[in-house]
Amino acid sequence: MVFEKLKNNKPAIASVSFLIMVFVVAMAGYLITPDPTPLANRQFLELGAARPGFSVTMLKLADTGFHEKSGLFRKWIYGQRTPYRYIPVKNFFREGGNIIAEAYTGDESQGQELRIDTKGSSIDKFIIVKRFPLGTDQFGRDLLSRLIIGARISFAVGIVSVVISLFLGVTIGAAGGYFGGRVDKFVVWLINVLWSVPTLLLVIAITFALGKGFWQIFVAVGFTMWVEVARITRGQILSVREKEYVEAAEALGFSRFRIIIRHILPNIAGPIIVVAAANFATAILVEAGLSFLGIGVQPPMPSWGNMIRENYHFLLLGEYHLALFPGLVLMLTVLSCMILGNGIRDAMDVRSSGTMVS
C-alpha cells in the first residue's frame, strides 16, 4: 500500500531517483573519479580555476618514487596514488629519440622547455589529453572528483547523525510519552532546555569541546538533532497510548517494551520518518555550514561546505562555477530529502488508508 501510493507521487519518485544516483556515485567514489588519488588532492597550480570542459595535453612520466601497492578495497575506501606524474604542456614535437615539449604556464608567457628520452617507445606512451568536465579549483584540482568524494562526507554525516538522533529521540520520547509522571516531566524539561539553544550554536559548542575533525562532526550533529525526534515521538505516543489496541495489548500481559516497539511505533512511524528525512537534510546543511566556517571537515578533505568556502570569492571574479556546482548539488540533495520525506508521510498516513497496525 505504501509503495503503491508512493509510486504515484512523481516529485517523490524524482527525489528518490536523484538521491539514489548521488548515493551510488558517492559510494563508487575513487573507482570512478577522474582523480583517484587520496582526497582527490592532485594539484596542478598552473591549471587553477579552469573553466568546465577544459582539456590540456600532459606528459605522462613514470614516478620513480612510487612504491605504494594496495588492493581494490583499499583504493575504494582511501584512494590510491598513481605510478605516474603528469606535467601539463602547451605543445610538443619529436626530435630523434626525444620528446621536446613546452611546459604549460596558464598564460601567454613562454614555459620551460622539457626534453624527455623516449628510449625508442611510441610517443603515445608519454602523451595524454587530460579533460576536466567541471573544471578545476584554485589549486588545479579536478572539481568533479572533489564533488564526488565530498558527497561521501555529506551522506556519511547525514546517515550517522540520523541514526544517532533516531535512537536517542525515539528512546527518550517514547519513555516520556508512555510512562508519563516524573519521567515525562523530566523529558519535557530536557527537551525545553535543549530546544532553547540554537542548533548551530550547540553544534559549534560540542565541536569546540571535541575538537575539529571528521568523526567529531558525526557526534556533534547527531547529539543535537534528537530533540525534535523526541518531541514528535512523545506527542504521538500521548495521542495513541489510550487507544483500544494498546489497552488490549496491556490486558494480554505483553511487556511495555513489546507494546511500544510492536504496537505503538509502527502507527506513528509516518511523522518520525518525515522528521528523520528533515534531520538528514539538516545534518548535511549543518556540516556544510560548519565546514564553511572552518570548524567542520578540515582541508584538504573535500566537503561541499569547504568547497564553497574556498571558492565563494571567485563569484566576483567571474569563475562562478567553483562555488556554483557544490552549492547546486547541496541544494538539490536537501530539497530531494524534504520532498521524499513529505511523500513518505503522505503514503504512510493511516487516516487516508483507513488501517491501523496492531
Q: Do 179 and 209 sit in the same domain of this protein? A: yes
What's the structural domain count of the chain? 2
Domain end, chosen from 76, 104, 132, is at: 132
Query: Cα(90)–Cα(108) distance, rounded to whole angstroms?
Result: 10
CA angle at 259 for the pair 258 and 262, rounded to the nearest 5°: 70
pLDDT at 326: 94
Pairing of strands 98-103, 84-95: antiparallel
Does residue 33 form part of some domain?
no
> Which one has a higher pLDDT value, 58 or 68?
58
For the segment 107-131, what is each residue's pLDDT rounded down to a tens digit? 777 788 888 887 777 777 888 999 9
Query: Cα(30)–Cα(37) distance, rounded to whole angstroms?
Result: 8
Q: Do 279 and 326 sit in the same domain of this protein? A: yes
Does residue 27 form part of some domain?
no
Q: Is the pLDDT of residue 357 over 70?
A: no
For the segment 182-218, what is each residue's pLDDT rounded down to a tens digit? 999 999 999 998 888 887 788 888 888 887 777 888 8
Query: Cα(28)–Cα(17) distance, rounded to whole angstroms?
Result: 17
Give first-to-last CA distance, the chain, whole Å.
16
Query: Cα(290)–Cα(313) distance, rounded to whole angstroms?
Result: 18
Q: Do 183 and 97 sit in the same domain of this protein? A: no
Q: Is the pLDDT of residue 354 over 50?
A: no
Q: Are 134 and 321 in contact (CB under 8 A)?
A: yes
- Average pLDDT, stretch 143-156? 93
Residues 6+ apart with CB under 8 A from 205: none
For the segment 223-279, what is each residue's pLDDT rounded down to a tens digit? 888 999 999 999 999 988 888 888 888 888 888 888 888 889 888 887 888 888 888
Does residue 88 form part of some domain?
yes
Q: Do 83 and 226 sit in the same domain of this protein? A: no
Residue 185 lies in domain: 143-353
Q: C-alpha distances in angstroms, 186 versus 173, 175, 179, 261, 303?
A: 11, 10, 11, 22, 38
For the segment 274-311, what is each residue's pLDDT rounded down to a tens digit? 888 888 998 999 889 888 888 888 888 999 999 999 88
Domain end, chosen from 76, 103, 132, is at: 132
- Tell me which residue of 105, 114, 110, 115 sits closest to 56, measured CA to CA: 105
Confidence band of 28 (pLDDT split at 50, 70, 90): very high
pLDDT at 356: 44
Q: Do 84 and 226 sit in the same domain of this protein? A: no
Q: Is the pLDDT of residue 11 over 90?
A: no
